[in-house]
Amino acid sequence: MRALFAFVLLVLFAATSAAADQPMEDRQLLLMLRVPPSHFRPDAYAAGNYESAPGREARRRIARTLASTHGLRLVDDWPMPALGLDCFVLEAATGDTSRRAVELLAADPRVESVQPMQRFHTLGAGDPLSAAQPAIANWNLRELHRLATGRSVTVAVLDTGVDTAHPDLRGQVALTRNFVDAGAMPAETHGTQIAGILVARADNGIGIAGIAPRARLLALRACWQPARGDNAAICSSFTLAKALQFALTQRADVFNLSLTGPPDRLLARLLDAALRQGVIVIGAVDAHAADGGFPAAHPGVFAVADARDGHHRTDALLAPAHGIPTTTSGGGWTLVSGASFAAAQVSGLAALLRQLSPRLHAAGLRSALATDAVGSAPRRPALIDACAAVESVAQRCACDCAAGQTANSMPRR
């Protein structure tokens, strides 16, 4: 009898250990419940006041009931007014239980939609490289800044935490939000590097100049840097969805998504909502994914690839991705490499073009980014000529203007 009891304890311990070894996201799912249209009820959502919106407790009760029925636990929730939904995070004891629950919940008439929680990761190793010439210099940045610096354009960076105390970023971040946990914004590597490429202070006598140093940067922590100390970063469907919803309420002009992962239904719906609002969404191409990875492969997203990696989709925009100088957490600077940083450069350039033409639509922006130095028709894939793009939108000379011309002259051709 004692032997049988010991055996049962051993089996239970093994099962518990196996579940503990599974990543938390593998045991979670996202449950969406529909919010009634606002004209049918007096308790409609108010942007920026999500948690106090009346009526949510009734949907929480439904979520708790569904969780209990399927042996799950309700661990978190967030409203998605851009989609007219409330999103709930449910957790199972094992990944298998979570996958079975997704199938069963999908058939429940109370459920608008349900999906597994998915994992995403940032692109680009962020290691120092030895470069003969910084890639940023190829874009004649000082000359471009005579015409535009990103002023009045809001760029949302969905990434890891940003070191807002960095001397080249101090005062450059308009707003920070942490969608990973309840803590303060930590100073993490990848997010700080992306922020530096975008908005590092210009002409301050130190470090670098960002592509769009006067842009209004929203540092939205939707990814986290594992404690093991490397530069890898992880995101989830839920943290990214919360950050996307917030960026929509802030009416950001440009979303920078220097990350990749599997196709995700909830995130795709939020991206579609952003695209309908005219947001320019920039995604980094994953050279290891056949379609470039999500969100770069999502229709309407500007897919930016490393000009050297050979992964040249027909609609890809190619940007320098090697030897890019930028800020790093802890107050220093480094050279970085990867599609993440190519995408950040294009997000900065998009901010310059949006400043020059606030009503510039996605098709016009894509045409400008694919125009070459002599004004030829757009061609893809193509290494972006930043000067040609600015001249195409501004209709004036931007770089290497002929003697006697000024920034107000006609474009060079």
Sequence spans of domains, the chain: 22-117, 121-394
287 compared with 45, residue with greater pLDDT: 287
The pLDDT mean for the chain works out to: 84
Q: Is the pLDDT of residue 10 over 50?
A: no
pLDDT tier at 18, thresholds 50, 70, 90: very low
Note if 372 is an active site residue. Answer: no
Q: Residue 269: CB partners within 8 Å, gap ≥ 6?
A: 83
Higher pLDDT, 351 or 7: 351
**Does the domain at residues 22-117 carry the CATH identifier 3.30.70.80?**
yes
Residue of 98, 237, 258, 340 marked active site: 340
Position 376 pLDDT exceeds 70: no
The model's confidence at residue 312, banded by pLDDT at 50, 70 and 90, is low
Residue predicted with more confidence, 365 or 19: 365
Residues in the chain: 413
**In Å, how far from its chain's centre is CA 181?**
17
- The pLDDT tens digits for 135-191 are 456 788 888 999 999 999 999 999 999 999 999 999 999 999 999 999 999 999 999
Is 340 in the active site? yes
Distance CA 104, CA 299 (A): 30
- List, in sequence order, every beta strand (DSSP E) within 163-232: 173-178, 216-221, 223-224
In this predicted structure, what is the pLDDT of residue 410? 45
Question: For position 231, what pLDDT does the model report?
Answer: 57
Out of 70, 145, 166, 190, pick the active-site residue: 190
User: Residue 68: which pLDDT band, with cuts at 50, 70 and 90?
Assistant: very high
Q: Which of the four pLDDT bands, split at 50, 70 and 90, describes residue 46?
A: very low
The predicted pLDDT at position 371 comes to 74
pLDDT value at position 377? 53
Each residue's pLDDT tens digit, 204-260: 888 888 999 999 999 999 999 987 655 579 999 999 999 999 999 999 999 999 999
- Catalytic residue (one of 77, 86, 159, 168): 159
Structural tokens at position 91: 């957790």
Provide, rounded to the nearest whole percent, the portion of the chain with pLDDT above 70. 79
Half-sphere exposure of residue 259, counting CA atoms within 13 Å on the CB side?
30
Q: Which of 187-191, 282-286, 401-405 has the lowest mean pLDDT?
A: 401-405
Per mean pLDDT, which range of 14-18, 29-33, 318-322, 333-337 is the poorest? 14-18
First to last CA, the chain: 91
Q: Is 298 a catalytic residue?
A: no
DSSP annotation of 249: H
121-394 is classed CATH 3.40.50.200? yes
| Contacting residues for 2 by C-beta, under 8 A, at least 6 apart | none
Contact 372, 385 (CB under 8 A): yes
Q: What is the pLDDT of residue 405?
A: 52
What's the pLDDT at 373? 56
SS3 label, residue 261: strand
The residue ranking higher by pLDDT, 279 or 39, is 279
Residue 5 pLDDT greater than 90, yes or no: no
Q: How confident is the model at residue 382 (pLDDT cuts 50, 70, 90)?
A: low
Strand stretches in 250-381, DSSP E:
254-257, 259-260, 280-284, 302-306, 317-319, 324-328, 332-336
Nearest to 112, CA basis, from 58, 36, 32: 32
Instruction: Tell me the C-alpha distance between 263 and 148, whole Å.
Output: 35
Single out the residue of 145, 156, 199, 209 nearest to residue 356, CA to CA: 145
State residue 229's pLDDT score.
55
**DSSP labels, 7-46:** HHHHHHHHHHHHHHHS-GGGGEEEEEEEPPPGGG-S----
Residue 39 scores a pLDDT above 60: no
Give the up-direction half-sphere exposure of residue 162: CA atoms within 13 A in the CB hemisphere. Answer: 34
